[in-house]
Each structure stands twice: as C-alpha cells, then as structure tokens.
Structure 1
C-alpha cells in the first residue's frame, strides 16, 4: 500500500483523537470483528469427510501454521531448491492496523485472534465474564506475532539447562544460544558490540524509539530500590530494562514479513496458502507413518501429501487439537468422542500458562505523562510513526520490564516475577481494547476503573507476571468436529504458592512506586476496591490475594501441551529431535514442546525452536 494511502487511512482513524468519543467510535468496528468471529466460528464452516477431499500435487515437506516457528522452517527448508515446501495457515494476511504497536490491545480483539476462551475456573478469573479468561493466540500469516506485544525475551540460561537435564540432549543453553542469534538482527542503542546479540539476521530487535518521562522515572526508581539496569537478553536477567521488541523502525515486524516476504518471489519451490485450515494429519494406521494433511479453503477440502515429513507449528492450543483430531492423544478421551485412536499419548496435558495480575494501577498528581488517547495522538503523531518515531511506536503502552526473584525463587539466577511497566491503565483505550480482550466484567470495570475516564490525572500500571507457575492445566477436544474450539482448562492459581509469589511481586512494585525518583509524582495505588474483595482493607494481604484471583489472566505464554522428552517418560509427546513418539515422518516444532516453565516470551522461543528444528530436519534428509 502506498505511503500516502496508508497515511490517509490512519489519518481517518486518528483525526478525532482530541474528542475521545469520536476516536473510540471509529475503532469500535475493529474491536467488534473479533467478537463476531468468536460467535460465528463454529457456524461458518461446513463439516467435510475425508473422502470428499480433492487431491493436489505432492510436496516434500508440509508445514502447518505460519507463526514464528513455521515461518523460520519454511525459510530454511526452502533454501534447498530440490525440496518443495508448502506452508499452510488458517488465517489471513495482515493489514496496516496490525503494524501499529500502540494498537495492540485492539488487534487482539480482531479476527486475527482465534478468540478461544478457557473453561470456567473456581480459583481464578473471578472478575471475567462467566469466570472464563480469554486465551488470545494469533490467526494469520505471522501467527501470534501479528497480535502480541512484540517483546523479545529469550529467557534465562538455567531454563534451558533444565530442559537438557530432563532427558533432552541438544537443548542446553549452550546448544540453543546460537539458534537465538541466528534469527536476530539487533539494533539496540548502547549494545552495538554485545556478544549476546547478532546483527545480520532477518528478525529485527530494537528498543521502541519513543519513551515517556514516566518510563524513565520507573527505570530510575527501580534502580534506587536496588535493581540493576541490564540487558535481559545478555549475561544476567535480574534487573530492569526498557523492553526490546520485534519492531523495525517503530513498526511491528511479524514473522511472515521478516522471513517469508523477502524470499517468496525468488523461491518457486516454496508455496504459501493463507485461509487454509488443516483439519487432519493423514496417517497410515498400519505403518503409523504421516503422509500428508487435509485442509479446507473456500468451503472445499483438499488432501495434500508429503514425501518426507509433516511438521506441525500451530502453537500450544491448535497443535494438540490437530493431533487429537488425527487420532494422536489420550486413548480414553479419543474413544469417548469417537475419534479412532492411532497413538495413545498425553497430548494436551501439562499446559503451562504464566499468569499476569492486571489490577495494580497507580494514580499520579500530574498530567501529560501517560499514553491516554488524547492530545498526544494528533496528526503529527501519525507523521512521526511513518518516520519511525513518536508514541504510536510503543507496544500497547508497555515500555519497561523488571525481572526479580522472590523468597520462593530457585537459587539459580532465574527470576520468578516480572513487573511490566505500562504507561496508562485499563481506561487508556476507553475499555474497548484491554478490558474487552480480557473479558473483564463491565460492572467491575465501571465501578473501579470507570471513574478514571473522567479523571485528569495520569496513571501507570504495574502488570505482575508469574514466570514459573506451579499450577498445570490441560486441553481436551470438545467433540470430533474440527471447527469447534477445544476445551481449555488453565487451572490458574490452583497451587496456593502461585498466589503468594504474585503477592510478593505486587509488594515490590509498590516499593518501586515509593522510590525517591517516583515520589515527585506522588503515585498512589488506585483506592477503589474490587466489588468482590470489599470485605478486606486495601492494606490487607488478603485483599490482594482476592484481587489476584479476580484480575489475573494469561500472560500469552501457553506452553508444554506436547511436551518434549524421552519415550520412557510417559508425560511426553515428542523426542528431543521433535519427532512424535510412535509416528514416523511427523514432528512438532513450536512452543507446545517446551518441557517446563521459562523466564522468556514465546515469540523468541518460537524463532529458536524453528531454527533448531530446521537443522534437525536437514540432518535427517540430507544424509
């Protein structure tokens, strides 16, 4: 799209920013798209039988899912001109709104999100509609890199050494570090000579070019209470830093734009099909060999065969769903929903999902510092954006992150809490983005946060992330219809220790707010109690325990549903070579294979896993 046309479109959206009502009226259709898609997702597609599928030509490799790992694999495997590679993706291509970092909360309410919703929880999600938390994950060319907060965080070296110690040779930190570097093209001011970064990869990593004074003060305040300023992708992960993001000149860079668009025209052996939903992996039940997939597009089914391998890179929700639909999963469950069992494996078990407490909002005694949709977003902000600067480049308002250890952390240098600093609060987008995306009840929002919409004072939020939850969930099929969403049981906060760890993180965020640097703003915790926690004083730990169970939700970190490990470990689904146990020519290469918790973000992990998987596959088929 020409630059002038892009500018005109964004001008239309932001022209009325000065009057918030007009702005939100213009953005409401974007937010409502996701809700419409969720409501009609199970109705718009007919049910097909495999026998009705049309056969199309054979490929060497079929990759299911165009997220970060899938795009890496498609790029690396198609380097061999003799290999014919097909990349299938259920969703569409991106649009210009995807690319604007500050609109992240709105994009998560669009049709680029699968819009899955967890099953009702007893011990968490009390403040969400029907006590069901949303589970956002991306649907489109780029996968979750189309809708995430773009934060690039690899995790702690100790995380990967634990993987190797669990029976996964080749996955220690020294093993995977080169694969992190291989993808990265860093442009980080002040870190130009760091040995912990690479500067000639294809995926951009940079600091957002715009910073508020409030974010600078948060960094200073964290240092004043004893937290070092660090490169969290460097030698140590304990400390505070501005966020490093997968953006390029302030614009979101999806995996597809980074890894596929630059090569597609010059690689006739690589084919990409969007809006093509894979409904089944084709497996010979006698030889237990995968030989292709069935996918649907434009209301027709197609069978496509792979002579070498099928590689599933659909993520921690869709990958176990597809495997179970194909007969690979817990035998009792598959028999119950009448799916023929091909291989009895614990697919969908061991769901790990870091939770984030979103309810810690601070009110300041000043104005003009936070990212409310007001006078900051004038037409000059749009012009700044196209020149790689200005407030539109801040990813969903997130500017800084502080990694710390609580009294419950392991003595290995790995943090168990991250405090994510956001300029603004739940009301900064008028309730159309974050509140809607997280399914926060309107009654709760109106009582606690609604008054802030008319308050002139600035706000900032400390989102407290539990990096290593003890609680585990699982995923099951709703039925044998591939177009129905799976049942997701997150079991957030089932272990009391998770609540206590988050409570320590909240107290540390409050301590930072009282640092000498932040005292100039006279920051105070929002004093309106949550309706279901009013029996406690705000100074009582029991109030915050109640608040944690009310306003904690996903930190977009679903992992482990196709756990990696030796075949003797009956909790695992794939080997250290990412091969599905007991099935030939079928691999899983996404974050669903992660065997334990991590201190990083799933996007960085996905890029690394894709690179590692590409080498494993090349080693197999070039010998």
Structure 2
C-alpha cells in the first residue's frame, strides 16, 4: 500500500512539473528585439538574462520539446540517449578512432529538448583550471582569462558542498545547484580512500588546488537533475516578454543588404515556414554541432565546402574547424565480490525499494548520475602536486559495461568485439575507471 501511495504522489508531482516550463508560443510575432536559437545549456541562460529587461521582447527557439520528468532521475542518464531528446548523431567512419564500434563510428549525443545537452549529460560539474583560461587568453582571446571568467562561474552557482565552501572560488546565490550525490557505493568510498593513501591529495577540483581526488560535484538539486531549463526558465515562465517556440527548427539566418549583419531567421514549425526579424540581435546558441551547421547553411563557412553544396558564400571562414572532444577509453572492468554493492542500472531500476526510495526522498542508488561517482585529476609528470595543471582525468564508475546491456548500444559497440570483451563477464558485479586525456596533449 505504501508503494501505491508513493507512486500516486510521485505521478501527481511529475504531472505538475509539466507546467513549470514556459509554454509553447503558437502565435509568434513577426519581430522581436532578440532571437535566441537553441534552448540548450547556453540558450536558457541567455533568454533568462535578456528577458530581465521588461521592454525587450525575446524569442527562444528550440527544435525539441518539453523536458520530461523521467529525465530528472540521475541513474538513467544514458537511457535518455535512446529518446527523441537526442539528435542521435554519429562521427564519420575512421581508421584512427572509434575502431571498436559498428562501422567504426561513435555515437555523439546532443540534446534536442528544452535544456539541450544539460538534459542528456551526466551532470558532472567541472569548470577547468586557471591555467586553461589564462592560456586561452594568452593565445589572443581577450576577456577569457581566469580573472575574467571566475566572477561569472560564481554568479552561476548555488554551491551546496560545505566541505569545499570558499567564497573566493564559489557562489551561493546563482541559479544552478551544485551538490554531491546523496548516495555512495562502498566501492567509490574505497576508491577515494585508496587514492588518498597512494598520495593523491583530496580536495576541490573546482577550487584553488584542482589536481585532486574527490566525489563528483554535480548539477543536482536535492538528488534530481538540475538542467539549464530547470535552473533558468522555470522561474521565469510567466514573463510576458519571453516567448518560447518549441518543435521549431531554424534553417537559415537572414542578412541585411550589406551581408554584414544578421537581421532575422527562417524557421519551420509543424511544417510551416516562418520568417521572423530581430530589431537588435540574433544569438546562435544551438550547440557544438548545430551552430556551425546553421552558419554554413546561411553561407558562413569554408568556401570550398559551401560551394560543393551549392550554398552561396556570405563569408569565407573556418567554421567547424578545431572541434575537440575528450579522449577516453572505458574498457577495463574490475570484478568485485557479489556482497560489494555495485551500480547495475538494470537491476536498480527494476528493484521496487530503490525506485520508491528515490520517489519519496530523491536518495538511494537512483540519485547517482549514470553510475558515475568520483574522479581524480592529475598532471602525469607531477602526480601528487595539488596545484599542478592537470592533463589527465580518471573517472570512477560504480557499475560496469557488462552489467548494463544498453551501454552496448550507447557506445555503438561492434557486436563481436562486445561479445569477446564483455561477454565472459556475464552479469557479474564490477566497476571501472575511465581515463580521459587532454586533447591538446595527444
């Protein structure tokens, strides 16, 4: 009976959350002060900030639709990639990477939903180090030094990790909750403890000593995903000057007669094309893949590529070049004693007591984002120096690839390679560490 009561309560709360997003605007204006393309991690922030000025009319355009309450559950982060909230992109086939995957292609998840990729990601909150930003500044990117960006990091945060509280590095009045998962497996506790015993410093990897080990800092709010949409749009859903157009695909940017200023967009919604103009600016925040795609569709990009697609060239620029992603390898599994609790997602979400624990209090195993629990940042040539510039990350995951068959499809594993590598493990409890290497070091 208590499970039934909890389920009904959870369902009612979940249905009520559907109305917390700004509504889909069906009657669009022909002109706004600002048009923001993409309601993802950045677009939600920009729309919130711009619409603070009540006399400005702001249009936020998103190709996806509402963020669903199931997306709140941290443990199912990888499952969301199988829904329509994901663009379902693949990398090109190559002999240099993704060699263990079907057709030598990796999946490249990108959010197609209110909140964008902040709804698909694993909620791990890492800001980078002072050396990263100062290096980008020194390369010619004025305004991107550490002292320039730190105030904005602090403005973003509502930091809820008392042991790392530091007013010089963290803020407590921002929109985005930052906390640690309310559940830890014995495996993750042992991993952090053993790292400390080996000599790696324990500390705040978003603080003054980034080369350290600790449990993950996460964009969670009371054990639930705190996406950019939830953080920045839910609280402003009643602003009269903010219109949100969902299920709307921007297909082209419009230019003035001199081809030097963007003055509007062409977008398609429910099969109908709309031309909408911007009095002040169009902000393109459609993500690492869709933003350059939109620029190139509009004639901004490499001349040779645009001409090969019969697209008129407005500006010959190297749009899309120098795109980088983190280089990782996650194949090494460590089998553990069955009495040692590991995060087998399939078992956890089919276990009524764990499910109802999360429904009731947002605690327990379902509050761990995709099974990720802790990490270690270090500089390989200076391993135990907490102030070093990290070039290596080791992410601890309290589950394993073999124990969650859907991970096979998440990563697009080649069937034979998956069977030979993970098949002999069966459903054995295990954990693994994922090494990530700084792309500039390769």
TM-score (norm 2): 0.91
Return 5+ residue gaps in structure 2 as ranges. Answer: 14-26
1:149/1:6 CA distance change after superposition, 3 Å? farther
Matched, 1:274 2:246: yes
Residue in structure 1 matched with residue 204 of structure 2 by the alignment: 231
Matched, 1:58 2:10: no
Q: 1:312 aligns with which of 267, 276, 284?
A: 284
User: Can you list the C-alpha shifts for 1:502-524, whole angstroms capped at 9, x where unaligned?
Assistant: xxxxxxxxxxxxxxxxxxxxxxx
Matched, 1:459 2:426: no
Matches within 5 A, 1:382-401: 382-386=355-359, 387-401=361-375
1:186/1:377 CA distance change after superposition, 3 Å? farther
Structure 1 residue 452, shift from structure 2 partner: 2.0
Residue in structure 2 matched with residue 417 of structure 1 by the alignment: 392
1:329/1:6 CA distance change after superposition, 3 Å? farther
Contact 1:158 / 1:413 at 8 angstroms: preserved in 2?
A: no
1:232/1:214 CA distance change after superposition, 3 Å? same
User: Can you list the C-alpha shifts for 1:403-452, whole angstroms capped at 9, x where unaligned?
Assistant: 0112399x9822111100001111232x11x2211101122212221232
For the residue of structure 1 that corresponds to 2:251, the secondary structure is strand
Structure 1 residue 384, shift from structure 2 partner: 2.0
Residue in structure 2 matched with residue 69 of structure 1 by the alignment: 42
Residue in structure 1 matched with residue 414 of structure 2 by the alignment: 441
Contact 1:354 / 1:469 at 8 angstroms: preserved in 2?
A: no
Q: 2:256 aligns with which of 284, 301, 307?
A: 284
Residue in structure 2 matched with residue 214 of structure 1 by the alignment: 187
1:244/1:454 CA distance change after superposition, 3 Å? closer
For the residue of structure 1 that corresponds to 2:63, the secondary structure is coil
For the residue of structure 2 that corresponds to 1:352, the secondary structure is coil
Residue in structure 2 matched with residue 407 of structure 1 by the alignment: 381
Measure the CA separation in 1 of the matches of 2:348 and 2:68.
26
User: Can you list the C-alpha shifts for 1:427-482, whole angstroms capped at 9, x where unaligned?
Assistant: 232x11x2211101122212221232343xx2111011112345xxxxxxxxxxxx
User: Can you list the C-alpha shifts for 1:105-152, whole angstroms capped at 9, x where unaligned?
Assistant: 111222111111111111221110000111111111000011100001
Matched, 1:115 2:88: yes
Return 5+ residue gaps in structure 1 as ranges. Answer: 11-53, 471-497, 499-623
Measure the CA separation in 2 of the matches of 1:377 and 1:130.
33
Measure the CA separation in 2 of the matches of 1:285 and 1:427.
58
Measure the CA separation in 2 of the matches of 1:72 and 1:449.
41
Contact 1:7 / 1:382 at 8 angstroms: preserved in 2?
A: no
Structure 1 residue 197, shift from structure 2 partner: 1.3
For the residue of structure 2 that corresponds to 1:216, the secondary structure is helix
For the residue of structure 2 that corresponds to 1:309, the secondary structure is strand
RMSD: 2.2
Measure the CA separation in 1 of the matches of 2:71 and 2:9.
12
Residue in structure 2 matched with residue 353 of structure 1 by the alignment: 325
Measure the CA separation in 1 of the matches of 2:83 and 2:349.
25
Measure the CA separation in 2 of the matches of 1:441 and 1:167.
42
Structure 1 residue 377, shift from structure 2 partner: 5.3
Measure the CA separation in 2 of the matches of 1:423 and 1:55.
47
Measure the CA separation in 2 of the matches of 1:6 and 1:427.
34
Q: 1:450 aligns with which of 418, 423, 434?
A: 423
For the residue of structure 1 that corresponds to 2:188, the secondary structure is helix
1:366/1:5 CA distance change after superposition, 3 Å? closer
Structure 1 residue 367, shift from structure 2 partner: 2.9
Structure 1 residue 364, shift from structure 2 partner: 2.0
Measure the CA separation in 2 of the matches of 1:439 and 1:9.
36
Q: 1:246 aligns with which of 204, 214, 219?
A: 219
TM-score (norm 1): 0.65
Measure the CA separation in 2 of the matches of 1:176 and 1:375.
40
Measure the CA separation in 1 of the matches of 2:418 and 2:33.
52
Contact 1:189 / 1:207 at 8 angstroms: preserved in 2?
A: no
